[in-house]
A and B are shown apart, each in its own frame.
Chain A
Amino acid sequence: MDYFNPVEVLERERLEALQLQRLRDTVDRLYQKVPFYRKKLEEVGFRPGDIKSLEDLKKLPFTTKDDLRDNYPFGLFAVPMRDIVRLHASSGTTGKPTVVGYTANDIKVWADLVARTIVAAGGTQDDIVHVAYGYGLFTGGLGLHYGAEMLGATALPMSGGNTKRQIRLMVDFGSTILCCTPSYALNIAEVMREMGVTRDQIKLKAGILGAEPWTDEMRLQIEEELGISAHDIYGLSEVVGPGVSIECVEKRGLHVFEDCFIPEIIDPDTGETLPPGQRGELVFTNINKEGLALLRYRTRDISALDVSPCPCGRTHVRMMRVTGRTDDMLIIRGVNVFPSQVEAVLMQIPGVSPHYQLVVDRVENLDVLEVQVEVSPQVFSDEIKKLEELERKIQDEVQSYLGVSVKVRLMEPRSIQRSEGKAVRVIDRRKL
């Protein structure tokens, strides 16, 4: 099987006609159903029916993460809550998470998209799909799960963690496709070595890896150590979750499923649309979603588009691997973390100084986030156990707020570098 859905190889002309029709319907529907969009569209003098060609997309206003936050939780939904069958959420910049809602049909479309990604990575109905992304509010676990079932493969809902058990079941059940973050794939390979499990004892053939930035060097290492073909998958909950784009066997960019999303690359400063090949901020418009459809959503991810034909036969445009962010968001083991969130937590703990620094490193293939906090005379105790209590308190608070485990290191006053102007809050030592 080369593809899952024939739309993946639809001729460009027909694909673009489908896009135009869906874009027009989406814009008209949002104008009618979502007061936020009606207001935004009216501000730029837009009326239903004004979309005449795909070029008209450029005239539409952008949507940002702040817009989602300002309309927290359900303000941007385009259907009544009775039609929403699933909610997911991701962490936001200042406490409020970003909430996304799906109708029954959205769940079906999403599963179809993920099924396409599994097939692009070489999957068939015969595969056992080992889903080691987290299950829960995060879209990773359930996204891959429903996609595997839609394909007719066997979904194994492992969720993250407990690596030894992951490996035991991988051996016993004969998992063939591994879905997790690239760093966790390397961690699994390492624990396998420690356990004395060899490559011939596992049946893995492919990896669908994403939710964090990685490199070709990491790909080679993962492919070598696990004996698999490793494919980059991209997605974000605001747009749908995993399944926005995937690398095919060619591994030269990720095909964006253009029947559902229209990608653009813009200059992050001017908002101007950039031509194919140029690097800039990735923007998506949902054209096949009912519950929450976003117009020109600014992802803050930096990429470029490649419109040249792909030998795999898919006609959908490819986006280059995401190489960075236009904001200070960090991705720690697949979880989005903004330094301002850590600051908000620290400010709530009495006596803790506002001077902090985040140090991100990759130790044994796992992201480690260290929060360095200066000890003020108000909280300094000469008893180690009280200092340890303070460390634990900060750790618990940050952890429960961010949803990612952290290490807290107490520092001497003034030992965290003060900078002129904008403070350097993050030191990222991960080599990518």
Chain B
Amino acid sequence: MRVRQVSVFLENKSGRLYEVCKCLAEADVNIRALAIAETADYGVLRLIVNDPDLAVKTMTENEFTVSETEVIAVEVPDRPGGLAGVLAPLYEANVNIEYLYCFVEKSGESAIVVFRVEQIDRAIQALQSSGFTVMREEDVYRI
């Protein structure tokens, strides 16, 4: 139920994002989803990849600052109100969301929301009891 997200520290400098992606490409790592959080001076690149171990290894070898975080991925229907629907049980269960990002599945029928929350177990429980599908780790890497 917990998905490993790989995060990279990036200085706000032209070419850095390209260098990360190039390094992952050379190691044959496939990026499934990504989001960037930014400040004036630096950014944090958050990645869901097909092979987190390989991604961490190759980026560390290339001297990037990398960390791993556990997130959850939830399938929601790709229609108006889809995201609101999934947020309701989290709100009711008093789960704090640090950040989230979404992407649409290839089939186009559902969207996937990646959550980073403070209370991960409580979040999973709240989502499941409201009938949402919290995706299994290997399914997310395979998307």
Contacts and interface: CB of A to CB of B under 8 A. Distances in A.
Most chain A CB within a 10 A radius of its CB, from B44, B46, B63, B69:
B44
Nearest to B68: A382
B49 to A, nearest CB: 14
B26 interface: no
B65 A376 contact: yes
A409 B41 contact: yes
A387 B42 contact: yes
A395 to B, nearest CB: 13
Chain A contact residues: helix, strand, loop or mixed: loop
Contacts of A388: 39
Contact of A377 (B16, B67, B98): B67
Interface in B1-43: 5, 7, 9-11, 16, 37, 39, 41-42
A113 to B, nearest CB: 46
User: Which of the four size classes fits the interface of chain A?
Assistant: 10 to 19
A411 B11 contact: yes
A96 to B, nearest CB: 33
Interface string A406-417: 000111111100
Contact of B66 (A377, A383, A384, A387): A377
B11 A415 contact: yes
Interface in B45-104: 46, 60, 63-67, 69, 98-99
Contacts, number: 51
A414 B37 CA distance: 22
B9 A412 contact: yes
Interface string A379-397: 0111110011000000000
A352 interface: no
B67 A384 contact: no
Interface string A162-181: 00000000000000000000
A383 B116 CA distance: 10
A375 interface: yes
Chain B contact residues: helix, strand, loop or mixed: strand
Contact of B98 (A380, A383, A410, A414): A383
Interface in A361-389: 375-377, 380-384, 387-388
A382 B46 contact: yes
Most chain A CB within a 10 A radius of its CB, from B39, B65, B67:
B65
A380 B65 contact: yes
B67 A414 contact: no
Given A382-B44, A387-B42, A412 B64 contact: yes
A413 B67 contact: no
B41 A410 contact: yes
A7 to B, nearest CB: 55
Given A384-B39, A387-B42, A415-B11, A375 B67 contact: no
Question: Which 3 pairs show the lowest CB-CB distances between chains A and B?
Answer: A382-B7, A380-B65, A412-B11
Interface of B: 5, 7, 9-11, 16, 37, 39, 41-42, 44, 46, 60, 63-67, 69, 98-99, 116
8 contacts: A377-B65, A380-B9, A382-B37, A383-B98, A384-B39, A387-B39, A411-B42, A413-B63
